Amino acid sequence: MPFLFPTQDTLHNVFHPSVPFGRREALAPRSIPQRTPLQARAELFPTWSVVDDAKKKAEALSAEATKEFEKASAKAQAKAGTIELYSAKYYAACTFGGLLACGLTHTAVTPLDLVKCRRQVDSKMYTGNFQAWGKIGRAEGFRGIYTGWGPTFFGYSAQGAFKYGGYEFFKKQYADLAGPENAAKYKTWLYLTASASAEFIADIALCPFEAVKVRMQTTIPPFAKGTFDGISTITAKEGFGGLYKGLYPLWGRQIPYTMMKFASFETIVEMIYDRLPGQKSDYGKGAQTAVSFTGGYLAGILCAIVSHPADVMVSKLNANRAPGEAFGAAMGRIYKEIGFGGLWNGLPVRIVMIGTLTGLQWMIYDYFKIFMGLPTTGG
């Protein structure tokens, strides 16, 4: 009884009444036009949209951060009052900027410094940085990788304060003594003498903390629990002079380093601005701090090479110099043990460390100067 069941056509007409002429015939496949070589691929439009959205969000965040920075900067400048160039307030601001620049950056790279110091004292201790950090982490935990961060922070904060504040002070004093014409003519010598004078004082502040840092990093387990425990341990055994037994090689390392750091930075920044269109004043805060970082990084590479042999000797003297041993005798003995090649142990690590450090220091220092309404260094 086939008439009891509706046919396929009947069912189609009941459930698809919008089709006026019965069942819809299959449509012929639509031809897709070929994309020309210069035409964008449609399937990439969503990706471009996501990138564009991310870019807009980043620009919005950047604008918001700039607005907050300017608001905080205005508040700080209002609280500090007008800061005239080369006034006591100016030197105080430069001193605090140097404290921030050196203290924070040196503390951040403590893990690199730890491996560098241990490899300088014993070149066979580790085969590489990652192997060293893995070995230290397994033996001493995460805190072990930051061994010596306390004396690093205190020491390099003090050093940075005297170094940057002193540099600005001596640069002005020596320029006044030389006169405008000679100061412009012999500006590189001015940078060199000003930075050397500032570093001479800064190292006296750094030396006790450097002695504690090196001993903490080169003794396993560390000989002291912290900075002030280390100072009291050294003075109890060797007297106050034990904190300064590395001062001469520290001067030998830091004074050439700082002379190169400041003179080459000033020269590189001046060269960058000379090759850019317009004047330094035509560039915004972000661009000026980017120039500071670039100039600082390049200067840091030169600094690392110039000062590395003295850096190795500082590590060796603080770790291996016997109580009462004369400075010259200790240096002669250490040089016989390691030879000329040994003075260059750890140089690649130090180039990365010092280049990054110096770039970040100049960036932080100049950013702080901008924050306080002062002009950036160089150029």
Distance spanning both ends of the chain, measured CA to CA: 103
Q: Name, in order, each residue with C-beta under 8 angstroms of 106's C-beta and a sequence gap of 6 or more.
A: 113, 152, 153, 156, 357
Domain contains 25: no
Taking residues 241-264, report their average pLDDT.
Answer: 89
> Between residues 328 and 216, which one has the greater pLDDT?
216
Domain contains 58: no
At residue 366, the pLDDT reads 94
- Tens of pLDDT, residues 177-221: 999 999 999 999 999 999 999 999 999 999 999 999 989 998 888
At residue 203, the pLDDT reads 96
At residue 333, the pLDDT reads 87
User: Residue 107 — very low, low, confident or very high, per pLDDT cuts 50/70/90?
Assistant: very high
Number of structural domains in the chain: 1
Q: How many helices (H) and strands (E) does the chain have?
A: 14, 0
> Between residues 129 and 242, which one has the greater pLDDT?
242
The CATH code of the domain that includes 280 is 1.50.40.10
Q: Is 224 left (phi over 0), alpha (psi -120 to 50) or beta?
A: beta
Residue 6 has pLDDT above 70, yes or no: no
At residue 104, the pLDDT reads 94
**3-state class percentages of the chain: helix first, strand second, coil last, to nearest 5:** 75, 0, 25
Structure tokens at 48: 């471009």
- Identify the three-state secondary structure at position 90: helix
Do residues 362 and 277 make contact, with C-beta atoms less than 8 angstroms apart?
no
Taking residues 252-257, report their average pLDDT.
Answer: 87
Residue 311 has pLDDT above 90, yes or no: no
User: Residue 41 — very low, low, confident or very high, per pLDDT cuts 50/70/90?
Assistant: low
User: Residue 99 — very low, low, confident or very high, per pLDDT cuts 50/70/90?
Assistant: very high
| Parent domain of 135 | 82-372
Query: Would you give the DSSP letter of residue 280?
Result: G
At residue 7, the pLDDT reads 65
- Identify the three-state secondary structure at position 234: helix
Do residues 121 and 218 make contact, with C-beta atoms less than 8 angstroms apart?
yes
Q: Name, in order, each residue with C-beta under 8 angstroms of 16's C-beta and a sequence gap of 6 or more.
A: 23, 24
Q: Of 263, 262, 358, 257, which is closest to residue 309 (Cα–Cα)?
A: 257
At residue 121, the pLDDT reads 76
Virtual torsion, Cα 200, 201, 203, 205, nearest 10 deg: 170
Please name the residue that has the structure tokens 């007297």.
239
Mean pLDDT, the chain, rounded, equals 84
Residue 3 has pLDDT above 60, yes or no: no
Residue 61 has pLDDT above 80, yes or no: no
